[in-house]
Amino acid sequence: MLVPLVSPRDLGYKNHDFDFRKGCTDFRNSVPLLLSGSPLAQIFRRARRLREYVFETEDYINIMLDDKQNHLLQMGVMLTTATLVMGAFVVVAGVFGMNIGIDLFNVKLKN
């Protein structure tokens, strides 16, 4: 009979999770624990780190794209505001450039 080097309680199993005759019943929690000292565990850890790195890189790229989009929107607002201000000056110049008679032009100044 094989004697385990590490008890199931040391691995974090509760009394009902592990039975020497049946093995571990909770496979999802047992795989990382069983692989903890093997080369497969190193590959598993590297894959997990790579996955986290990819997610962090994706988040960083999204942040950079959002920043560029905010700058473009800000530039659009500034150009729209400048166009509106220039439009106001064009309207004033257009009113004074017309050859029509209105009372605004016939004001007599008092001395």
| Residue (of 7, 62, 11) closest to 36 by Cα position | 11
pLDDT value at residue 110 = 74
Report how far residue 71's alpha carbon sits from residue 56's, in angstroms, rounded to the nearest whole number: 23
pLDDT in tens, 48-72: 999 999 999 999 999 999 999 999 9
**What pTM, to 2 d.p., does this model score?**
0.45
pLDDT value at residue 72 = 97
pLDDT value at residue 42 = 81
Report how far residue 38's alpha carbon sits from residue 36's, in angstroms, rounded to the nearest whole number: 6
CA angle 83, 88, 91 (to 5 degrees): 120
pLDDT value at residue 1 = 44
Alpha helix positions (H), 1-111: 27-34, 39-97
Domain residue spans of the chain: 1-34, 45-100
Given a cut of 70, the residues of the chain with pLDDT beneath it are 1-37, 105, 111
